[in-house]
Amino acid sequence: MMKKTVLSITLFLISILMVVQATPVPSPPKLAAKSFLLIDFNSGRILAEKNINKKVEPASITKLMTAYVIYKEIESARLSLDEKVTISKKAWKMKGSKMFVEVGKKVSVEDLLKGLIIQSGNDATVALAEHIAGSESTFADYMNQYARELGMRDTNFVNATGWPNKNHVTTASDLAKLATAIIKEFPEHYTRYKVKEFTYNGIKQYNRNKLLWRDKSVDGFKTGHTESAGYCLVASAKRDDMRLISIVLGTKSEKTRENVSQSLISYGFRFYESNKLYSAGESLNTARVWMGASASLNLGLSEDLIVTIPRGQYKKLDAVIDINQSIEAPVTKGQKLGVVSIKLDDKEIISQPLIALQSIDEGSLWQRGKDHIIKLFQ
């Protein structure tokens, strides 16, 4: 059984929000791409989509996962940015986009990362993969392990670069999980994706993500192109406290992938807004605890609760808090004891578990006996 409490969100926020006239939300634009996806980074809400679970070749978008593995290696202290990598003949001979490293030379991980991200260098990518795992194929196994951990269920990597292979596939939905993870887990590394140019070996090359010049709110992510994959672009943009991630796969030209991505981002910011309703650790309600050293327990959330809604609809939100009717000690901090559901026009748009904000030990024999008798009469 659950006990239900209905709260008005306006009691919690929010004198800081201005009253905005509701903006009608049109259908998402119809765009020329095999698949695309637009999500709000903070809430995870999908704002526009097409064929988001369709398996496609990702081309150099693959390098997002390559970089993710590298960040994990750095985080675990198994790799450092100033560490030197010896360039193999295989890395040097890689076709496609290049950083123009030379065989036998020693290049820092920092420079190779820049070559991978800014110049999309296949040579830099293979050099890093070989340095970390011994071979590119073994490195691909690492990539697939992390993909499974991130819930990328329709993804399979066979190389680190995105070189064409019919078994090398992913989806827009899976790429959204990866892009979100990079920003959340490695914000300090994410800043590299907005760098517009990098010069190595006397050769200056520019970031292939042209949205960095076109839209000041765009601050990163990755392009990709092969004959079989078409032109692809993952982009992220932030305006005020709202961040959007767009994934566009399989367009027919470089210009089209830019236009489609820009259309999605503009649509999201124009017609939607994001609001933080509750903070992690904030006490939202107090529950009665039976048989415990304390009779009351503060309940809240483990993560910030953020909603993405059509602009001007904030005052229509309601929060429904359901709490377990009978909570008995011992209670462990973080234990799930209910749920918070946010509704718009009586339709649930997001929910999060309601957890114990502190632990409560079992009470004394006298306290347990007293509570047992009270419960019997109730």
Instruction: Write the CATH number for 318.
Output: 2.60.410.10
Predicted confidence at residue 329, as pLDDT, reads 87
Q: Which amino acid is at 5?
A: T
Q: Which phi and psi angles does 254 have, rounded to 5°?
A: -60, -40
Tell me if 234 sits within 8 A of 245, measured CB to CB. yes
CA nearest 26: which of 225, 272, 215?
272
Please give the residue range of the domain that contains residue 114. Answer: 35-251
341: Cβ contacts below 8 Å, ≥ 6 apart:
319, 320, 321, 322, 348, 350, 351
Same domain, 215 and 291: no
Predicted confidence at residue 371, as pLDDT, reads 65
- 113 part of a folded domain: yes
Same domain, 68 and 212: yes
- 175 part of a folded domain: yes
Predicted confidence at residue 23, as pLDDT, reads 60
Same domain, 130 and 194: yes
Helix, strand, coil proportions of the chain in percent (round to 5)?
35, 30, 35
Same domain, 116 and 244: yes
Same domain, 246 and 284: no
- The residue with tokens 């119809």 is 30
- 122 part of a folded domain: yes
- 178 part of a folded domain: yes
Q: How far apart are CA 220 and CA 118, in angstroms?
A: 10
Q: How far apart are CA 180 and CA 151, in angstroms?
A: 12
Same domain, 319 and 283: yes
Q: Which amino acid is at 225?
A: H
Q: Is 63 a catalytic residue?
A: yes
Predicted confidence at residue 367, as pLDDT, reads 79
Predicted confidence at residue 14, as pLDDT, reads 40
- 70 part of a folded domain: yes
Exactly one of 34, 35, 50, 63 is catalytic; which is it?
A: 63
Same domain, 120 and 239: yes
Last residue of a domain, one of 251, 267, 288: 251
Same domain, 13 and 53: no
Q: Is 60 a catalytic residue?
A: yes
DSSP H stretches of helix in the chain = 10-13, 63-75, 89-93, 109-117, 122-133, 136-149, 172-185, 187-190, 211-214, 254-271, 365-377
Q: Is 204 a catalytic residue?
A: no
Q: Which phi and psi angles does 125 have, rounded to 5°?
A: -65, -45
CA nearest 245: which of 110, 52, 104?
52
Q: How far apart are CA 193 and CA 61, in angstroms?
A: 12
Total number of domains in the chain: 2
- 198 part of a folded domain: yes
Same domain, 366 and 281: yes
Q: What is the pLDDT along the chain (378 residues), one digit of tens a residue?
A: 444 444 444 334 443 343 445 567 888 888 999 999 999 999 999 999 999 999 999 999 999 999 999 999 999 999 999 999 999 999 999 999 999 999 999 999 999 999 999 999 999 999 999 999 999 999 999 999 999 999 999 999 999 999 999 999 999 999 999 999 999 999 999 999 999 999 999 999 999 999 999 999 999 999 999 999 999 999 999 999 999 999 999 999 999 999 999 999 999 999 999 999 999 999 999 999 888 899 999 999 999 999 999 999 999 999 999 999 889 889 999 999 999 999 998 899 999 999 999 999 987 888 777 767 877 777
Tell me if 296 sits within 8 A of 289, measured CB to CB. yes
- 257 part of a folded domain: no
* CATH code of the domain covering residue 184: 3.40.710.10
Last residue of a domain, one of 185, 217, 251: 251
Q: Looking at the DSSP assignment, which residues form a beta bridge with residue 249? A: 35
**Which pTM was predicted?**
0.87
Exactly one of 88, 120, 173, 263 is catalytic; which is it?
A: 120
Exactly one of 34, 35, 43, 60 is catalytic; which is it?
A: 60
- 83 part of a folded domain: yes
Same domain, 166 and 117: yes
Last residue of a domain, one of 251, 269, 286: 251
Q: 134-157 burial, b for 16+ CB within 10 Å, e for fewer?
A: eebeebbebbbebbeebebebbeb
Same domain, 305 and 345: yes
Same domain, 216 and 70: yes
